[in-house]
Amino acid sequence: MEFNKQNIQSKVTTAETHIIDEGLRAYMLKVYNYMASGIFLTGIISLFLFKLSVVMAPDGSITGLTSVGNALYNSSLMWLVMLAPL
């Protein structure tokens, strides 16, 4: 009776692939968590700046700008804020 080496090699390859897949999954989870944290932080900062820059009526409409809003929307700082991400 002969020993079949093909079955042994395919099982070893499958086990190595599984280990690589676990490492890749852990790495991608770190990347996705980092990206989600960045999106969350961006949302918090934009909401904070919006609340600082406008005066809102009780019905939710914008009635005017505060001094921060005037600095952001009615000066050349507007261009710096808009083009900074580039």
* pLDDT of 42: 94
d(CA 60, CA 51): 12
* pLDDT of 81: 85
d(CA 41, CA 44): 5
pLDDT category of residue 60 using cuts at 50, 70 and 90: confident
d(CA 11, CA 21): 15
pLDDT over 60 (residue 10)? no
Averaged pLDDT, 16-43: 89
